[in-house]
Each structure stands twice: as C-alpha cells, then as structure tokens.
A and B are shown apart, each in its own frame.
Chain A
Amino acid sequence: MPQKRPLSAEFSKGILRENPVLRLILGTCPTLATTSSVVNALGMGIAASIVLLCSNIVVSALRKVIPQKLRIPAYIVVIASFTTIVQMLVKAFVPALDSALGVFLPLIVVNCILLGRAEAFAGKNPVLASAADGLGMGVGFTAALLMMGAVREVLGTGTFLNGAQSLLGVFGENALGGFNGFTLTDGGGFVPITFFIMAPGGFLVFGLLIALANRLNKEKEPACSACTHCPLAKDCSSSM
C-alpha cells in the first residue's frame, strides 16, 4: 500500500522497527559470513547500502515504465548493474576489502533485502520516499552487521576495528594517524574465544541478537512488509 508518510519516517523505520536483519530476517547470508570482524562488517554494510540506495532510486524512477509481469527480472538487472559498479569500485580503491569479502561482494545481487525493498517499496513509491527507505534500510543493515561484528571480533580475536586502515583503501595510508584498531589482549587477562569468529559462533551470536531484538520490541510480530513479498514466505517458518 502506498502511504503518505514523512520522509523521516520512511528513513527511520529501517533502523529499528523494521530492521531488515534483526526484525525482517533478510540478508542472513552476508550477516553471518562477513561479520567475523568489525571492519569487514562495516565494508559489507556500506557496499550493500550504496547498491540499495541506487537500486531503490532507479526502480522507483522506472516504476511506471517497467511492465508488471517483467518487474522481477527488471529489478534484478538494475540491482546486478549497481552491484557490478560497486564491485569494480571496491576492487579499484579498497582492494583489501575486496579480498576479505570475496564472493559475498558480487552476491549482494541476491541479497533479499535489495529485491525485497524494490518489490515491497520502491516499485510503488515516489523517488524521494524510496531513497529515504533505501538509506534507512541500508543504515539498519549496517548497524546490525556492526553489532554482530563487534561481538564476534571482541570475543573471538580480542581486537576491535582491527585492520581499520584497509577500509580506507588507497586513500588511507596514513589518514588515521597509524591507528589500526584496538587490541584488548595486551594485558594477558583476556584469552580470545576463537569459537566466535568461526561458523557456529556466527549462528549463535545472530540468534542471541534476534532474541534481544524480540525482547526489546514490545510488538510480538515485526511489521513485516518484506516477508509478504518473499518467495519463501509460504513455506518459511522464520516469519512465524
């Protein structure tokens, strides 16, 4: 349903109430795979947010031109194009991030947050509202990834923001004044628990964060606008 709401509301809903990761449970693969460190999580979040913002704007601008029956392939082409552009930019300017994210950078194209927003929002709403929605969802996605990354990196390797310089790529040789993350293990009082940066730790931390989000949100059900458009919704039990 297209609604008339202020832009700030379209922006802010993605951060808490309809957080794509913790409330709508979208984009789980990159959430689990790229959060073994804060820097990787931040890089993934920013890359996906840029693609989301651009694809939302273009899909919204073309919403009267794209035929109803061809909309999904059209959305996929738009998203794939922006993913490719972002991938090339990252390869050129932040090569360390490209190798850290590996296959998950091109896989932004099948991140269901992007197709979900195109289908649920940008395809029916004006450009400005879609841009606000995309930006909000992107910030929400990045924030959730950062939380995951912070928990996993601090517990799993005993560092925080380790490798921060690599995120600045070719611009940032000395931009941070030699800062390259905190080390928490110096005093010898804390032994990193490697479990948390391994696969099972990812599942566990993600589960606990969702539980926390459920606990903090008084509403039982998230205002799930994306799930109704997710092709998996019929058989999906995570929406229950």
Chain B
Amino acid sequence: MKIFAMILITGILTQNFVLSRFLGICPFLGVSKKLGTATGMSIAVTLVMVLATAATYPINAALLVPRGLEYLQTVVFILVIAGLVQLLEVVLKRFVPPLYNALGIYLPLITTNCAVLGVVLLNLQAEYSYAQSLVNALGAGLGFLLAMVLFAGVRERLEGADIPKALKGLPATLAAASLVSMSFLGFAGIAENLFA
C-alpha cells in the first residue's frame, strides 16, 4: 500500500508532470485562462491517461515484449492512444451524453498531448507493475489537474495587471508559471520523508 501512496504523492506534488517534468505544457499555457475550461481539460486528460495506461500496458507485455518488438512501442502507443480517444468520444456521446457535453470538446486535443504518451513511456521506464502504472497515471493526471487549477487562479489575477508591453501575453504567463513551479520545489523530498 505504501508504494501506491508514494507513487501518488510523487506524481501530484514532487514530480508534478507540468511544473517539474515539463509534460503537457501546451494545454497548461493554452487552456488555463478560465477555471472552468482548465478543470474540464484536466479531468479529460486524467481519464485518458488512466485509460491509455490500462490499454497500452497489456499490449506491451503480451504482444511487443515476447516478440522482441519493443522498438515499435512509440508507433503502437501513439496509435492506441489516438484510437482510444476516438473511441472514448463515441462511447461518451452515445451512452453518457452529460459527460460528453462536459468533456467532449477537450478529447480531440488530447491525442497529441505529450503528457499522455509521456506517462505511458515513463511507466515502462520505471518498470512499474500494472497496478502501480495505473496509480502513477492517476497521480500524473491529478497533478496536472492541481497545476491547471492553481495556474488558472493565478492567471485570472494576471489579467488586470499592468505589464510592460513586450512582456504582455505569453512572457508574463511564463513568468507566473515559473513562480508556481518554484512553489512546487518546496515539496521536494516530501514523499520520501512521509513514508520513510
């Protein structure tokens, strides 16, 4: 149990996907302007991350590794993720319309989100078990959610600020991201110490 809690805390706080691993920066900068869209996007990303891990892990273990086809991982995983996102869109639209209305518009954006392929590859690199991989995907998604929600709040404050012309827009946003990221440095070592 301890290892699961540790993976979760690491994913959310110490090794936050966006703020310390630099994965999923595009949506982090792109759709964090309003709290509502930021939350919707993050939940969709979390869902796809967990589903992508659930689907790719068995494919890798049952099909690629026994045949020595590990070099096909990148191609296979990106196609599986793309197919999965399409499938999820269709299934949600047909069976859970309220959820589709809430998350549907974000789904097409997620295929090329490097955080999704990133978590799948990092799970393999860390040699996690199936359950550990799923927990890591969940932690990564929740960490993404936390970063997005926090940053959306910061950006709403930034709107009214008086900023030099050249720094307006993205540069100021990145400086704010730098400060939020710095605050996450404070979590360094917390997972190890909590469960030591």
Interface residues of A (CB under 8 A from B): 25, 28-29, 32-33, 73, 76-77, 80-81, 83-84, 87-88, 102-103, 106-107, 109-112, 115, 198-204, 206-208, 210-212, 214-215, 231-232, 235-238, 240
- B125 beta carbon closer than 8 Å to chain A: yes
B25 touches A28 (CB 8 A): yes
**B63 proximal to A (CB < 8 A):** no
**Would A84 and B170 count as touching, CB distance under 8 A?**
no
Task: Verify A211–B171 contact, CB threshold 8 A.
Answer: yes
Of the candidates A198, A202, A231, A237, the one whose C-beta lies within 8 Å of that of B185 is: A198
Contacts of A73 in B (CB 8 A): 79, 82
B173 touches A107 (CB 8 A): no
Q: In the complex, how many angstroms separate the beta carbon of A118 from the nearest chain B beta carbon? A: 12
Q: Would you call A203 and B30 a contact (CB within 8 A)?
A: no
With contacts A32-B25, A200-B179 taken as known, whether A211 is within 8 angstroms of B166 at the C-beta atoms is: yes
Query: Quick check: is B102 within 8 A (CB to CB) of the other chain?
Result: no
Bound Cα distance A206, B33 (Å): 19
The distance from the CB of A169 to the nearest CB of chain B, in whole angstroms, is: 19
* Complex Cα gap A76–B112 (Å): 9
What DSSP secondary structure best describes chain B's contact surface? helix
CA distance A73 to B79 in the complex (A): 8
Contact A199 B19 (CB under 8 A): yes
Closest Cβ of chain B: how far from A228's Cβ, in Å?
A: 14
| CA gap between A212 and B164 in the complex, in Å | 12
In the bound complex, residues from chain B placing their C-beta under 8 Å from that of A81 are 75
Most buried by A among B71, B122, B177: B177
Whether A203 contacts B71 in the complex (CB less than 8 A), given A215-B166, A232-B27, A235-B37, comes out as: no
- For B125, give its contact among A87, A103, A201, A238 (CB under 8 Å): A103
Q: Which residues of A contact B114 (CB under 8 A)?
A: 29, 107, 110-111
- Do residues B74 and A28 form an inter-chain contact, with CB atoms below 8 A? no
Neighbouring A residues of B112 by C-beta, 8 Å: 110, 112, 115, 231
8 Å CB interface, B2-61 against A: 19-27, 29-31, 33, 37
Q: In the complex, A181 Cα to B123 Cα: how many Å?
A: 34
B74–A32 touching, CB < 8 Å: no
Query: Which B residues contact A (CB, under 8 angstroms)?
Result: 19-27, 29-31, 33, 37, 71-75, 78-79, 82, 108-109, 112-114, 117-118, 121-122, 125, 166-167, 169-175, 177-179, 181-182, 184-185
Number of A-B contacts (CB under 8 A): 135
A163 CB to nearest chain B CB (Å): 20
Determine whether the beta carbon of A232 is less than 8 Å from that of B30. yes
Cα of A216 to Cα of B154 in the assembled complex, Å: 28
Quick check: A25 and B109 within 8 Å, CB to CB?
no
Q: Considering the chains assembled together, what is the distance between the CA atoms of A200 and B183 in angstroms?
A: 9
Pairwise interchain contact B122-A200, C-beta atoms closer than 8 A: no
Please list 28 pairs of residues, one from A and one from B, whose beta carbons are closer than 8 Å in the complex, sorted by A's number.
A25-B29, A28-B26, A28-B29, A29-B114, A33-B21, A73-B82, A76-B78, A80-B78, A103-B121, A103-B125, A106-B73, A107-B23, A107-B118, A109-B117, A110-B113, A110-B114, A200-B181, A200-B182, A201-B178, A202-B178, A203-B178, A207-B167, A207-B177, A210-B170, A214-B169, A232-B109, A235-B31, A235-B37
- Expressed in whole angstroms, the minimum distance between the Cβ of A12 and any Cβ of chain B is 24
- Given A25-B170, A102-B125: A200 touches B118 (CB 8 Å cut-off): no
Q: Interface SS of chain A: helix, strand, loop or mixed?
A: helix
Residue picked from B24, B29, B184, most chain A C-beta under 10 Å: B29
Cα A115 to Cα B179 in complex, Å, equals 31
What distance in Å separates the Cβ of A83 from its nearest Cβ neighbour in chain B? 6
CB-CB under 8 A from B125, the residues of chain A are 102-103
Tell me the bound Cα distance from A240 to B73 in angstroms: 37
Per the bound structure, the CA–CA distance linking A210 and B122 in Å amounts to 30
- The answer to whether A199 and B181 have CB atoms under 8 Å apart is yes
B78 touches A238 (CB 8 A): no
Q: Are A88 and B71 in contact (CB under 8 A)?
A: yes
The answer to whether A202 touches B30 (Cβ under 8 A) is: no
Contact B22 A29 (CB under 8 A): yes
B47 → chain A, closest Cβ, in Å? Answer: 18
